[in-house]
């Protein structure tokens, strides 16, 4: 079945440590996105990528980094510069244009907590 796979489901980070969240899709979608969700809040865009080897900052990119070496994969690294990383992280993908019947497909998320 086609879909988006995020791993791990739960992740713990120590102070000063970088951690990487995995996101893989087999929907043949061009665009991929990372969102952060805090309790009682909506989703906020961290980074997005429309094509391989290209990505753009979203609203809250500071303290995060991404890469897009393959169409299927869009890993997110939470760096030590991100001082408040505890949140639920959602990866999504879509076709190139997001309108009409097109929509975001989401993974099941990764809960990141600081030890």
**Under the criterion CB under 8 A, does residue 56 sit at the interface with another protein?**
yes
Report the alpha-carbon distance of residue 115 to residue 79 in Å, rounded: 15
Question: How are the residues of the chain apportioned to helix, strand and coil, as percentages rounded to the nearest 5?
Answer: 0, 50, 50
Short-list 4, 29, 16, CA closest to 115: 16
Q: Which stretch binds another protein (CB under 8 A): 12-20, 44-52, 61-69, 76-84?
A: 44-52
Q: Which stretch binds another protein (CB under 8 A): 19-27, 60-68, 72-80, 101-109?
A: 101-109
**Under the criterion CB under 8 A, does residue 101 sit at the interface with another protein?**
yes
**Under the criterion CB under 8 A, does residue 65 sit at the interface with another protein?**
no
Task: List Cβ neighbours of 52 (8 Å cut-off, separation of 6 or more).
Answer: 68, 69, 70, 71
Where on the chain is the footprint of another protein (CB under 8 A)? 31, 40-45, 48, 50-51, 54, 56, 58, 88, 90, 92, 94, 97-101, 103-109, 111
């Amino acid at each position: 079945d086609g879909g988006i796979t995020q791993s791990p489901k739960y992740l713990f980070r120590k102070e000063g440590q970088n951690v990487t969240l995995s996101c893989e899709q087999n929907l043949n979608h061009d665009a991929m996105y990372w969102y952060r969700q805090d309790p009682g809040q909506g989703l906020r865009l961290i980074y997005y990528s429309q094509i391989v080897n290209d990505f753009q900052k979203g609203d809250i990119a500071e303290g995060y980094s991404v890469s897009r070496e393959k169409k299927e994969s869009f890993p997110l690294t939470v760096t030590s510069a991100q001082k408040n990383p505890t949140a639920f992280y959602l990866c999504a993908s879509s076709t190139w244009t997001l309108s009409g019947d097109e929509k975001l497909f989401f993974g099941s998320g990764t809960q990141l907590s600081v030890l």
